[in-house]
Amino acid sequence: MAPMRAEPFNDSSALIDFVINQGNGVKGLSEMGLKALPRQYIQPLEERMCMINITTQESIPIIDISNPNDPEVVKLICEAASKWGFFQIINHDVPIEVLENVKDATYKFFGLSAEVKNKYSKEHSSSNNVRFGTSFTPQAEKALEWKDYLSLFYVSEEEASALWPLACREQVLDYMRKSEVVIKQLLKMLMKGLNANEIDETKESLLMGSMRTNLNYYPKCPNPELTVGVGRHSDVSTLTILLQDEIGGLFVRENNGDNWIHVPPIKGSLVINVGDALQIMSNGKYKSVEHRVVANGYNNRISVPIFINPRPSDMIGPLPELIKDGEKPIYKQVLYSDYVKHFFRKGHDGKKTIAFAEL
């Protein structure tokens, strides 16, 4: 049961118990009608949105991929990956109803009772591959982030059928299946831009050997200017395929600058971003870029990213084709699971994770 009061939790252990241990998440806090943000969520001044420069002069590229074999489309994708690290795709092969269904399923899962959602928490889930949680790494963060999530690591259809929540299982599987065609098209184009044309089984497995889908829920927030939905970070994936709703709130750091650019929601589009693994494998040709999500005082927001990753057991480093002609590697070979553990060991801290792989 929610505490019978509307003021912030002054006692951290009571907040942790309510939000994490009981499975209420920040959704539970939001629904209490708090008039002020609990102090545990107040971000340092330098991390708040009010302290950053937002530019409306630029926007990330929006690319029509209805003809993915068109050399001009390939060029636009590769340029976007190297200059921006982020772009939106339209006229892709994922049907709009699949996207709408997974958004509906996200609301359905987060509409379940805290008791039911809590069955999938770190303490209670029957598998590490299914995880309901809140914030990012609560035990390592100086201030908590205003977000709840369900994380689903795909192993097999059988495991998903047995372990994933019924409220969203089929919709997420369908979204992942239908997205795979687009993912392969994008990776094929990006490899062409590196002159690493052949994607054989080994390379495909390195680029997209594992997949994780997150359902993110950002409830309405008191004092949204004092906190964040997600702090500054780059993803550790090869690529991230993001479905966002119509609310907006994702910001991307401008290339080589201190300005931040809003990524406007476009119905039916998917937002694509380069992850650290692809930056490493491309020897820095493609850039993973910092991004963040603001909290919102008026609307609940959802997003559904698919993280396309190497397998945990893979060694990642610059692709052999890139360094065979004498190009100097700027990254060493690292075990992908070690890289990911390093990312999750700390709070969000911009682009610092990549230093783990630098020579």
Range of the domain at 134: 57-357
Does residue 118 lie in a domain region? yes
Sign, CA torsion 29/22/171/152: positive
CB 189 within 8 A of CB 68: yes
Does any domain span residue 157? yes
In this structure, the number of other CB atoms found within 10 A of the CB of residue 359 comes to: 9
| pLDDT at position 8 | 54
pTM: 0.92
Give the pairing of strands 53-54 and 301-309.
unpaired
Contact (Cβ atoms closer than 8 angstroms) between residue 117 and residue 20 = no
Residue 30 lies in a domain: no
pLDDT for 99 equals 98
Q: Is residue 262 part of a domain?
A: yes
Going by C-beta distance under 8 Å and a sequence separation of 6 or more, which residues neighbour residue 4?
none
- The answer as to whether 210 is a domain residue is yes
Do 237 and 60 form a contact (C-beta atoms < 8 A)? no
* Beta pairing partners, 253: 260
- Indicate whether 338 belongs to any domain: yes
Nearest to 175 by CA among 93, 238, 254: 93
H-helix or E-strand spanning residue 189: helix 169-192
**Rama region for 186: left / alpha / beta (φ>0; ψ in -120 to 50; rest):** alpha
Is residue 32 one of the residues assigned to a domain? no
Quote the pLDDT of residue 355. 83
Reported residue count of the chain is: 359
pLDDT digits (tens, 9 = 90+) for 95-153: 999 999 999 999 999 999 999 999 998 888 888 899 999 864 545 556 788 999 999 99
| Regions of the chain short of the pLDDT cut 70 | 1-8, 50-52, 57, 135-142, 344-350
According to the model, what pLDDT value does residue 346 have?
59
What pLDDT is stored for residue 4 in this prediction? 37
Q: Are 102 and 88 in contact (CB under 8 A)?
A: no
Domain count across the chain: 1
Q: What CATH number is associated with residue 217? A: 2.60.120.330
- 285 belongs to a structural domain: yes
* Structural element, H or E, at residue 321: helix 320-323
CA distance 61 to 248: 17
Identify the pLDDT of residue 101.
Answer: 98
